[in-house]
Structure 1
């Protein structure tokens, strides 16, 4: 059975007995229709169930007032951002359209899908596109990056945490507990992984521990943590503490270590990065470096809205401070408790 046809402006005009142009004047709230005619048109629209297509009106003016957001399926930290993105967009009079990168749906495809749906700005959460692709994208639309610096000299906003500072906070905490053998499972080629890796090495060097710095190949997911844990279990001289690339990596570490009978934090302390919702669960209780997901998300929406509403506005690179959150996965090393 065919779906009922939506009433149109022509139907309203016929019901009210006025020209279609007069109906358009009424719904655009423009002068040219008497109060009596205006009332007759609105009554006819109510009888027919006609509602003006706000999106079509915006598109006719070259605006969709829709922000496209690219996120990662299964990434809790990015999921934590979405509520703030929706709230801030609604406050500023924008709609939000989501698309996601997956192993079979790359980020470039997600971006093209959003642009095809007339999104007039994009917010990319933890973008993995190369600098060349980002530069080309900035030439097509208004872009804000979250969790990554913009390519040098490019006209796009970026909002990120001072990740090198966050890694220094994690290392300072562990050294303060008495650890000297502190390893880092890095984020591979993920956004800001190099900044975190450098922050770790700089912090170890600042404590006179540069020679014992150990970086394990990793990534921003549980599998990277699992692989790193297995490598540590096989190592002849395992560290007493590990700083993971992010909380998902830390979760993979924790699960594998505990299944193998390693006492965390009694034998090995673990620190994550992000402070996503899983880190706060009582049975996880992960010490981690907190990024302010809400502030990053709100700032990204405000940034693109500002540049959409004022084409002379200059893109900004905003660097937010991190905050170490100490929970139950860190403690002094075993040797200091004997």
Structure 2
């Protein structure tokens, strides 16, 4: 800052006003200071500035790097936070880095609220302790821990839409690759079985164990290929699972939608690629992020104390991976 002041011929205090975007300096002086700062490579010390402030106005985001939807949500959190004058601090959950360590890092960086994206539930007692310290908003799940907020998609309804679509095309033998106990998976499994029964297809209910990975889709495909007869359609637990399923089926000479129709979940960017063209249940990542950050801001800026749980309706994006059942299919 002293170097910038000397270069322009002004005081350090004036440079501080310009770099903090506070009133006082004229427009011409601001331009001179900013140009000099660029020339000498000066950048404001944000960490020091945060330490001087009574409030950090930082939202901590805990996420995994395994699922495409998590990436979409992180991207959407930034503009949502900026619109409410909050910054964002990220902390990734890794195989070598647990939830407690990741959350402690965010709290150590003076984050005023935490947004947890699509995680399996941390120990409820621990999460309750954190929620008593700072606002906690879950995206993609609702653990029910006291003091937390949540925003998620109506997963059961999303899979019902997928089954309804397939039944409307004439399918009966519709299988579901399960997501085990991962966030949203039990609801998707429930939506599948309820939709099948509502169409009178109890005898065709077919749940295949899996998870949210490509490998689980590949395993499911191999299990189906080992049967005497393939189902005419499969609803996968998410897009990654659907991609593993499709790839393994194609290698075996089975194609979608001519032989088997396939539906994913999340409507990721990969699903929209022209050579994938995957029918998928869409979750609105941008809206989920805006609501989550808004929930945190309501608690911090308005003093809201009552928990808020928002459930959004999904939509089905129909593409080329689904079509009528193959001739002669059950």
- Normalised to the residue count of structure 2, the TM-score between the two structures is 0.84
- Per-residue CA shift, 1:200-219, capped at 9, x if unaligned? 11001101112321111111
Distance 1:24 1:7, change over 3 A: closer
**Unmatched 5+ stretches in structure 2:** none
What does residue 228 of structure 2 align with?
236
What does residue 278 of structure 1 align with?
270
Which of 187-196 and 235-244 deviates more? 235-244
Distance 1:60 1:168, change over 3 A: same
Is residue 145 from structure 1 mapped to residue 145 from structure 2 by the alignment?
A: no
1:24 positional shift: 10
Distance in structure 2 (CA, Å) of the matches to 1:327 and 1:52: 48
1:159 positional shift: 0.4
1:55 positional shift: 4.9
What does residue 93 of structure 1 align with?
85
Q: How does 1:1-338 map to 2 (within 5 A)?
A: 55-56=47-48, 58-130=50-122, 132=124, 133-151=126-144, 154-335=146-327
| Number of equivalences | 315
1:310 positional shift: 2.1
Which of 187-196 and 51-60 deviates more? 51-60
Distance in structure 1 (CA, Å) of the matches to 2:301 and 2:103: 22
Contact 1:178 1:336 in 2 (8 A): no
* Greater C-alpha radius of gyration: 1
- The 4+ residue runs of structure 1 with deviation greater than 3 A are 15-18, 27-30, 49-62
Contact 2:232 2:329 in 1 (8 A): no
- Per-residue CA shift, 1:141-162, capped at 9, x if unaligned? 211100001415x111100001
Distance in structure 2 (CA, Å) of the matches to 1:205 and 1:196: 14
- Normalised to the residue count of structure 1, the TM-score between the two structures is 0.83
1:78 positional shift: 1.4
1:165 positional shift: 0.5
Backbone CA RMSD of aligned residues: 3.3
Which of 223-232 and 106-115 deviates more? 106-115
**Unmatched 5+ stretches in structure 1:** 1-5
The SS at the match of 2:74 is helix
Which of 224-233 and 98-107 deviates more? 98-107
The SS at the match of 1:335 is coil
What does residue 3 of structure 1 align with?
none
